[in-house]
Structure 1
């Protein structure tokens, strides 16, 4: 079984690229971030035509997450468990942003997350990022207590270590690399969750994001912020991980590449 995460950076702008990726790689479960679409505007019918069930937690123009399930492999599809973490956005009266979606599928608990970026740092957006990570940790602990195989996939907006970025000095002031961000991510691993990509690539050097600016893609100036965290039950089933880097180089591609993990059984 293949599970994957893909920050699509706007479903309407990237739909052809998303459909290509789904048809060419056929993940069983795909978690999407930054769909930038309300639920009723999401082009679910086109993905259903490919054999995918679609569950969305959208928001107009910003954020938004979705989980796609291959019904050819899992005919019953996925069942929604929770949307949102119950944490207000950084602006007064803003309400909760669409950043979290959790389902049960194929005997697993899958959560799709789009963690706040946190820039500019310092400031209220960075404070919101840390508060969101603390709330995420609480939810992950609750999932852990249920003792079911679980995976938390998505754009964490955290560069965990210096070998997860092309040049640590270039990103030193960014919210993605602040000690507080890294410490919050490390606490998740300390709770017993396994970073799938790190486990099979201990030396680092694996990028999942390349900015549109400064020819970052052409110069391979990237970093790793899209992660798959596995509970012990799924970590024991991990056989392979990968980044579909080639899809980042296609016309009108997202600035992220899809990241996947292969699980036996």
Structure 2
């Protein structure tokens, strides 16, 4: 949708099931295809917001336990994170990180997803896999970002 000159894309990236499966390979191919599509969207709509369930935790700051959630796990694998980085390299910026850069004095542990098992929500054992990316043209206009 385009509203007030800002193009908004609501994106759902498939989960991918498990690293090494056909569904994982499909996820990586889909991310490559969406990258090509977003290049065209950015050319037509420089004021672009891409948000939704990316099913990728951008880096270790975005998981409750980086040792457990390592390269062998879906949502945190190197290939998924690299695909997300390629999307950002188009000129998209993680709005959350624009305002919470993970400095050593910033101990904020906010997540957008928790496994429904083992009381993960109550124990804040989550991941930040729902993202809002803003284009270069909107970066300075992004005054705040958070997780509700």
Common fold: TM-score over 0.5: yes
What pairs with 1:1-265 in structure 2 (closer than 5 Å)?
Answer: 103-172=1-70, 173-203=72-102, 205-244=109-148
Q: CA RMSD in A?
A: 1.2
For the Cα contact (< 8 Å) 1:165–1:223, is it kept in 2?
yes
TM-score of the pair, normalised by structure 1: 0.52
Unaligned 5+ runs, structure 2: 103-107
Distance 2:60 2:46 in 1: 32
Deviations along 1:141-164, one digit per CA (max 9) or x if unpaired, are 101112431100000000110111
Deviations along 1:38-90, one digit per CA (max 9) or x if unpaired, are xxxxxxxxxxxxxxxxxxxxxxxxxxxxxxxxxxxxxxxxxxxxxxxxxxxxx
Q: Alignment length, in residue pairs? A: 142
Q: Which runs of 4+ in 1 moved over 6 A?
A: none
Distance 1:207 1:127 in 2: 26
1:205 is displaced (CA, Å) by 3.0
TM-score of the pair, normalised by structure 2: 0.91
Unaligned 5+ runs, structure 1: 1-102, 245-265
For the Cα contact (< 8 Å) 1:119–1:174, is it kept in 2?
no
